[in-house]
A and B are shown apart, each in its own frame.
Chain A
Amino acid sequence: MIDFARVQKELQECTRDIEASGIKVSPKSDSLARLTGTIPGPIGTPYEGGSFQIDISLPDGYPFEPPKMKFVTKVWHPNISSQSGAICLDILKDQWSPALTLKTALLSVQALLSSPEPDDPQDAVVAQQYLKEYQTFVGTARYWTETFAKASSLGVEEKVQKLVEMGFPEALVRSTLDAVGGDENLALERLCS
């Protein structure tokens, strides 16, 4: 059974020093088992200025089992799948310790953004590019940040309005945007499918 008392405390703790860390964790629904984390792209990296949303789902054994995390925002990084957003990070797997928290885990993910480990890649294509054509890699990563991680920085109302103007019903637009974590392009994709 998930230790919800602890999750609650973690959330409070996180809100308390959001100024310092910039890391935000908020529940998706009432259940607290599904959460969304947001981390700012580290300064001095191609991810700078972006805001990355991470889908968090807590297994039954939390905190004795690691939380499941994956990027909702598309990101170009050797240890993050450009397709699924899956993250390759040891502390989310066998190196997890119950003493870690959602915040520390997200900080580790943020640290991963600044220091990729192309020798242990999640996305082989990105890793190859990182090793062989570093400049191209930086360009692509920056472009992806611009395209995907900043679009969501537009106000939600703006996005809703834009999509409603395209002819989708407002209620559907809002729920779809919510489901994809506020990514306008993904929402459009889903609305059209």
Chain B
Amino acid sequence: MEDYGGSDDEYCYYDDDQEEPMDGIENEDSDVLGSARKDSTTKVITKESLFDAQREDLRRVMELLSLREHHARTLLIYYRWDVEKLLSVLVEKGKAYLYSNAGVMVDDNLSSNIRRCSSSSVSCEICMEDVPADNATRMDCGHCFCNDCWTGHFIVKINEGQSRRIRCMAHKCHAICDEAVVRNLVSKRHPDLAEKFERFLLESYIEDNKMVKWCPSAPHCGNAIRVEEDEVCEVQCSCGLQFCFSCLSSTHSPCSCLMWELWIKKCRDESETVNWITVHTKPCPKCHKPVEKNGGCNLVACVCGQAFCWLCGGATGRDHTWSSIAGHSCGRYKEDAEKKTERAKRDLYRYMHYHNRYKAHTDSFKLENNLEETIKGRVTISEQRESALRDFSWVINGLNRLFRSRRVLSYSYPFAFYMFGDELFDEEMTKEEREIKQNLFEDQQQQLEANVEKLSKVLEEPFDQYSDDKIMEMRMQVINLSVVTDNLCNKMYECIENDLLGSLQRGTHNIAPYKSKGIEKASELSTCWSNKASDASNYLPSDDISSGGTTILKRDRPSGSGSSSNDNINECSLSKRTRKEVSGFFDLNMPAEVIDRN
């Protein structure tokens, strides 16, 4: 949570500023947007809210099939928390199939409280001893073994990392053991293992669920992110890390995940250097070092003293004329070698073209991050001046627009490298088609590039030294350019989605959609601790078992339930702050239509 510091606090500061009566319009708008933000479907799941996050799914399944929690959980784990999938199996194949596949045995005659075996003593098949009946447990599937053996079995399975699906001990029985029994028996002998079991069960919601993924931050922030509809998107965790939800690498839209993976590999590889060496040098026949020809005739001398023919690479004597070397002839034309060299040369230049531009924009992006500090300083100075102008949110809006479009621009180069290269889509387009599409795309790219550079230039102006009139002029420019670049980004994505990637026949490349407002910031699940504690105790199986259930929650919060009221305050103030931040962030990302009204 402390990760909220840094620049985000700054946003808060500006947000506070805007709450002054000076600019009623923007404030109003920020409220509207703020409430829209609450509907944001991407959620941060913290250690604390993990239980709440899965409660909804559990409840749905429990209510629909009138199941107890552990059965619902077993079903959901088996169907990877895909409630829709689970329901479609139910409709198509029926309840019995659904249950038996997942290892759920619902025996209506078996009350959950009467788990003891019927007769007074039981012969346990595992340890081959007779044990008193109250020392044995019957599972939902009807198999009854002694508690010691059950415990031994559970411990082995938990240690093997199979907590999520511990099967009954009977041979060929696929029933999954009741988690309450596991919890209860294991905690008697190994409380720490029982906790581990609990955590595994809870984390199934992240590990086995394609809509939820751990935040890839390193060191790990402990959070997971849940998306609602589309897995192809880019998100920002509450720790500040922005990443591609599909491939968990850094954000890269409009490159597809595959393009990005290839690009990163290519940039890291030395293969291009090797390419250059093959094109521009020949190995010395004596010392085998690569030699570059820096002019002159075809007799080349290596630093080691060996002379050789540049055309064929063979060692020669030093006696030569401009056109021939004494005692050496290699006039035969080798077409193959020539073609290969030509091709390597072309590929290298092509790569260099795209890489240079990609790199230039990435570098600008870094430099512009420094600009952020400078601009904030200027805003502070300007605000303190005796002037009618008090609102400088437009500078920050412009700066954010610049960051966003700069990012799009820089990733548009590796995109183009693969889109119009022959590595991925060689068979998708004819040469002519490719040329037309490339022109279309490059036109848009060039326009975007020009406007981004203009915006960058305007934003660098030292407005804190300007007169009011000049500031108003700059304001207009920034707002106009922001609108233009935003539109251009939109158009470029439209072009990519409709004309380029949309028309592919083979294979699909999905890209995270362009968002005017920037990468979606995942919001915290809106729950307070006090709620959760009561809900959790309602929810976790009752009696002796609930003690096991609450330990994990206590463990997560070092202060424990004793000081929960205190926690509550913290939590609430935190979420308030988060909301404020969110609205602040939103405000700064004022979309075109709002700016239009100014």
Q: Which of A6, A91, A98, A104 has the most chain B CB within a 10 Å cutoff?
A: A98
Q: Which A1-23 residues have a C-beta within 8 angstroms of B?
A: 3, 5-6, 9-10
Smallest CB gap from A65: residue in B: B156
Check: B436 CB closer than 8 A to any chain A CB.
no
Assess the B171–A97 pair: CB atoms within 8 A: yes
Assess the B156–A97 pair: CB atoms within 8 A: no
Check: B125 CB closer than 8 A to any chain A CB.
yes
Closest-CB distance, A59 to chain B (whole angstroms) = 10
CB within 8 A of B169: which of A5, A98, A104? A98
Kindly state the separation between the CA atoms of A97 and B145 in the bound complex, as whole angstroms: 13
Q: Chain B residues with Cβ under 8 A from A64's Cβ?
A: 149, 152-153, 155-157
Q: Which A91-120 residues have a C-beta within 8 angstroms of B?
A: 91, 97-100, 104
* Interface mask (A77-91 → B, CB under 8 Å = 1, otherwise 0): 000000000000001
Assess the B171–A6 pair: CB atoms within 8 A: no
The A/B interface has a contact count, at CB < 8 Å, of 38
A61-B156 in contact given A98-B169, A99-B169, A99-B170 (Cβ < 8 Å): yes
Assess the B128–A6 pair: CB atoms within 8 A: yes
* Interface mask (B147-189 → A, CB under 8 Å = 1, otherwise 0): 0010011011100000000000111110000000000000000
* Interface mask (B109-142 → A, CB under 8 Å = 1, otherwise 0): 0000000000000000111110000000000000
Kindly state the separation between the CA atoms of A100 and B128 in the bound complex, as whole angstroms: 11
Residue tally, chain A, CB below 8 Å to B: 15
Assess the B169–A97 pair: CB atoms within 8 A: yes
Kindly state the separation between the CA atoms of A104 and B149 in the bound complex, as whole angstroms: 19
Kindly state the separation between the CA atoms of A64 and B151 in the bound complex, as whole angstroms: 10
Kindly state the separation between the CA atoms of A132 and B153 in the bound complex, as whole angstroms: 43
Assess the B127–A6 pair: CB atoms within 8 A: yes
A100-B156 in contact given A3-B127, A6-B126 (Cβ < 8 Å): no
Check: A50 CB closer than 8 A to any chain B CB.
no
Q: Which A24-81 residues have a C-beta within 8 angstroms of B?
A: 61, 63-65
Closest-CB distance, A86 to chain B (whole angstroms) = 21
Closest-CB distance, A66 to chain B (whole angstroms) = 10
Assess the B126–A63 pair: CB atoms within 8 A: yes
Q: Chain A residues with Cβ under 8 A from B155's Cβ?
A: 64
* Interface mask (B543-578 → A, CB under 8 Å = 1, otherwise 0): 000000000000000000000000000000000000
Q: Which A159-189 residues have a C-beta within 8 angstroms of B?
A: none
Kindly state the separation between the CA atoms of A64 and B169 in the bound complex, as whole angstroms: 9
Smallest CB gap from A10: residue in B: B128
Assess the A99–B125 pair: CB atoms within 8 A: yes
Which residues of A approach B to under 8 Å, CB–CB? Answer: 3, 5-6, 9-10, 61, 63-65, 91, 97-100, 104
Contacts A6-B127, A98-B169, A104-B171 aside, 8 further interface pairs with beta carbons under 8 A come to: A6-B128, A61-B152, A64-B149, A64-B155, A65-B156, A98-B126, A98-B152, A99-B125
